[in-house]
Chain A
């Protein structure tokens, strides 16, 4: 495959409340930041990820386009998925060989509605959604099936929140406390927080990447897989789609210094670590991960951005990023990055 690298990453200082910014205002600063950092004002391809249901209106990505300065008109597409899949589409487009750069961005404001209720609308509309099953209850089913220990989950949340506090972009959340259940066995702090935010990444191919970045984060492998929708069809203790995507992306072909995992519930980190067969020495979610900031539709892209940043800043040689979509880790994307 053609050599493609992440050469710039920017994200907002995510908030746990609505700051009154419209999509355009949320996205514009991060787009400007990656433009300034790369010196590029035009890109061969642009792709974004967002979800109309978070905004409660159709075409939430249309007004976002206005923040790009898309004039003259640009070659552009959009996925109604986490923007990690927009990055995948851009990576595929760069494989054609006729364009050398791509802009990818994602954004979400979960403060505007009831995320738990909204995510119910993602389920089979005839047999599941009418039951009122919500995202947290689904996750709790999976946590039960996996049988995670409370001490282990508490430690994941404690570590994620501590890392989040030292990440200027993540939320400042206290150490986990309290013994109430959100939905047993999950406690409120096992659930990723409501977050507003946006992120942008610039991809460049070959010589352009070498020219624009001192230490490009080369994409050595990227792959995604989906699983059946119905939980009864799946073994919830594992994530076979992450396993398959990890193998296809070549996670096991070398050491993994850092892994950024899109775990929106603490127990998901355990399932994902096993699925990716991460070595014991791998540092997981040094950014704090989704448990410290979860701007839905950008969270997966931020995992790739954070994993790439560890390479861009010289701190790591080989990193892995994971993004997920759908109930109970239904759909997973794995990216392997190297210096």
Chain B
């Protein structure tokens, strides 16, 4: 994995339905300036900028890195635009880290954003080429059958998704940046909301958010302040149209996890990882990913959720920040997972800090559950 790399600054905007007070440029700059302030640096100290976001159709701006170069202080520097579907936020962090691990740069600014209020993501996702007509609308329509298949295979009871929806929103109440803050959130409230894509109810889905997240990554020599050291990075992709692909527990997810655990020397993720920020856009993806990522045996993930083990006070907290279920600026959602993992091992997660967190997983996925990006960060130098 090359040279050592660390997160030395993190910046987030507050996530909300509509940020009418800022342009897209203003939004990304807000996150970037906060990350730089956290690192005690300015744009002048940055060698390169890596920016990620989900499909350009979400805002109607094609290849927006051209327009955003000025706002991110990139003029005169290398700038790269990453796009790997929903996993893009994670991939953006990894492409930035790669520049340091490869010895090309010493300080890299990575930024990811989505300003969903500028467009309509569900319809942007439902535009297909004439010869590949889609039978579903939006991401929920695509993933609902996979969730149903998980329930059939594992025999999980119907209420598991509800538990995740409640737990993540309770965590969001402790996160100043979170979008959905629902005081008194409980099972009855989730169960009373309309069914959108059976078995996914309204409160079991992620919101549409405006927001941006940024990180400053540094080589070992340039580390300042409290670093989160990168212990492993991995990406995996698999084809959409492979006949025997298991879309419930994709091989690419398993392989990506195995790769990143090997680099970080992790053999038992449930025991050795202190906190995980995992891309859970629909509540049921928590038990599904618990199994895919090796935190639970096949068919057992829902029992880990049901036992409360993934709660903030459980033995393996998942999405202490409230996760994607509480804030979802799509292109940034993966980077937020990676950044929240870093904040946990830096001891800077605030009210949702997991006591004594030393090792954390950041995870993102995208496409038809076929693109995966992960990293392990730790408080100690690898």
Contact = CB atoms under 8 A, between A and B. Distances in A.
B77 A62 contact: no
A71 to B, nearest CB: 6
A135 B67 CA distance: 14
A81 B127 contact: no
A72 B242 CA distance: 11
B91 A77 contact: yes
A331 interface: yes
Nearest to B25: A124
A225 B240 contact: no
Contact of A121 (B23, B60, B81): B60
Interface in A112-160: 118-119, 121-126, 129
A229 B255 contact: no
A53 B56 contact: yes
Interface string A219-247: 00001111111100100000011001000
Interface string B102-125: 111000000000000010000011
Contact of A52 (B24, B55, B70): B55
Contacts of A89: 80, 95, 98
Interface stretch (B37-45, B189-197, B220-228, B231-239): B231-239
B36 interface: no
A330 B239 CA distance: 34
B1 A98 contact: yes
A95 B104 contact: yes
Given A56-B127, A81-B80, A96-B1, A123 B57 contact: no
B128 interface: yes
B241 interface: yes
B136 interface: no
Contact of A233 (B67, B70, B77, B128): B70
B66 interface: yes
Interface string A67-100: 0111111111111110001001100111111100
Given A63-B132, A70-B239, A58 B78 contact: no
Contacts, number: 198
A330 B68 CA distance: 12
A326 interface: yes
Contact count band on A:
35 or more
A22 interface: yes
A336 to B, nearest CB: 16
B102 A96 contact: yes
A59 B55 contact: yes
A226 B60 contact: no
Contacts of A68: 239
A96 B263 CA distance: 13
Contact of A57 (B54, B91, B128): B128
A58 to B, nearest CB: 4
B75 interface: yes
Given A1-B103, A65-B237, A98-B1, A80 B78 contact: no
Contacts of B61: 121-122, 125, 129
B98 to A, nearest CB: 5
Interface string B55-75: 111011111111111100011
Contact of A59 (B67, B131, B367): B367
Nearest to A67: B239
A126 B22 CA distance: 11
Contacts of B68: 229
A126 B67 CA distance: 10
Interface of B: 1-2, 23-25, 54-57, 59-70, 74-85, 91, 94-95, 98-99, 101-104, 118, 124-125, 127-129, 131-132, 234-242, 250-252, 255-256, 259, 367-368, 370-371
Interface of A: 1, 22, 46, 51-53, 55-59, 61-63, 65-66, 68-81, 85, 88-89, 92-98, 118-119, 121-126, 129, 223-230, 233, 240-241, 244, 325-327, 330-331
8 contacts: A63-B132, A74-B238, A81-B63, A95-B101, A98-B1, A227-B69, A241-B76, A331-B65
Top 10 closest A-B pairs, CB basis? Answer: A95-B102, A58-B55, A96-B2, A73-B252, A80-B83, A326-B66, A76-B237, A73-B238, A121-B62, A226-B79
